Amino acid sequence: MPPPTLPLHELSLDHAYAGLGDSYHARVSPSPLPGARLLHFNTEAATLIGLDPAAADDPRFLEVMAGNAELPGGDYLASLYAGHQFGQWVPQLGDGRALLVGAVGAPRGGSWELQLKGAGPTPFSRFADGRAVLRSSIREYLCSEAMHHLGIPTTRALCLVGSTEPVRRETIETAAVVCRMAPSFVRFGHFEVFYYRNQHSRLQPLADHVIQRHFPELWQRPDRYRAWLTEVCERTARLMAAWQTVGFCHGVMNTDNMSILGLTLDYGPYGFLDGFDAGHICNHSDEGGRYAYDQQPRIGHWNVSRLVQATLPLLHEEPEAAVEIGTAILEAYGPAYGQEVVQRWRAKIGLREHRDGDEQLINRFLSLLHQGRSDFTRSFRHLSRLRAGDQGPAAGVREEIHAQEAFDAWVTDYRARLRAEQSDDASRAAAMDAVNPKYVLRNHLAQRCIEQAEAGDFGEIDRLMRLLARPFDEQPESGAYAAEPPPEARHISVSCSS
């Protein structure tokens, strides 16, 4: 029996983060948003917090989610953090356009923080307007839910509100607000700001808040800070493995965009790979390719090293001993990433058992995809059609691969490897299709949705939400969404303002 649901105004909020004190945040009232309209309501996300789906039809819900009214019991605040952006230290950042409302207890345990992104300026806006535009809001709303259904840790999204208010970016656009949800929005940068300000006494209350609420099994351990940071390190490594094996590029992996819970956080200039290019850069602002696809695992490790450095005062009172402990923590990253990524790649090509030579077989397949710029998602999805006992060209798969001679040589070895573990074609195909999505949020699909929404047609938002909620299902009526992008849409440019 499903748990009971409540109207928005009857949800119980707690404010544990606000309780840390004014050093960690600034209290801010949301800025009213004229001409607000509810563009989409995520019923699935609503059930996570026990919210009655009928809230979508309640005018008070729209007023709260637009920032035109404050939620009773809400304690609106923008949190303080800093971070390394493109490798450079920025001493103060903070929530410049997002307001934390409070945390809602989940019917099935835990809690979810609600945050309004685009709710107006805060003390951390740095002369910006504090607004989010419809374009970027649609991209975040769709992708956070798409990533969840791909099985990748992520923030969630409750609803999307549009507006008639003009906002200037490169051109005049319209404002929007996304209600984001996460167990916590604490980032690596929340710790960095106090470390670099030499306000080390503020590290422990923040760390204790995170551990007590999100790592309670570690709370009684005498080495809880070391154990916690090791867990964060390993979660981050596993997240990078998940990104790599689904072909997701974040685009702006600054430390202020890294979640302390190992969630995918802040959907700006992201992109899913189309034609596979190991060095693909999805953010045209990233001129040096720091956050290219093949650099993401390395940057994940570098970012964790910044977090560990920022928390050294928690590890030991003697600096040299703290550094030694921190170094040991960072050594957990490589094995955690390596184990997770190999396991995921092996599942993607349908191998049940671990055998010597598997990593070379996987890397050869990736190399031939790169060689021909073959479509990443389609190539893996079609690979399940191959039959282990056949000889000659792999019909139904070979057509997807542009480096066909290299593929033919690989297929011979791949079939031999499958036969070595007596692989059953039908069961292997089902297992592969359960981990290789048919549908991902390709940039051209998001762009088409944005263009329609900007013209006043919001129906594609719902169509994509429904499609991406079942990314591994065939959904033959929607097969066109699995096609490669048309030539004119293969190089859509996405920037940090997106």
Query: Which residues carry a binding-site annotation?
Result: 94, 96-97, 117, 129-130, 180, 187, 257, 266
Q: What values do phi and psi take at 103, rounded to 5? A: -110, 135
Instruction: Please tell me the distance from the alpha carbon of residue 296 to that of residue 199, in angstroms, as a whole number.
Output: 31
Task: Quickly tell me which residue has 């493995």 as its tokens.
Answer: 241
Catalytic residue among 256, 286, 375, 433: 256
Catalytic annotation present for 286: no
Tokens representing residue 64 in the block: 């709260």
Instruction: Please tell me the distance from the alpha carbon of residue 319 to that of residue 309, in angstroms, as a whole number.
Output: 11
Is residue 179 within a helix (H) or strand (E), and if so which, with residue range? strand 172-182
Feature table: binding site for Mg(2+): 257, 266
* DSSP-derived pairing of the beta strands 172-182 and 111-117: antiparallel
**Is 91 within 8 Å of 196 (Cβ atoms)?**
yes
Neighbours of 8 (CB within 10 A): 21
**Is 329 within 8 Å of 236 (Cβ atoms)?**
no
**Is 339 within 8 Å of 253 (Cβ atoms)?**
no
Task: Quickly tell me which residue has 């819970």 as its tokens.
Answer: 261
CA dihedral (447, 448, 449, 455) positive or negative: positive
Q: Measuring CA to CA, which residue among 195, 193, 209, 184 is closest to residue 81?
A: 193
Tokens representing residue 52 in the block: 């009655």
What is the Cα Rg of the chain in Å? 23
Give catalytic residue positions: 256
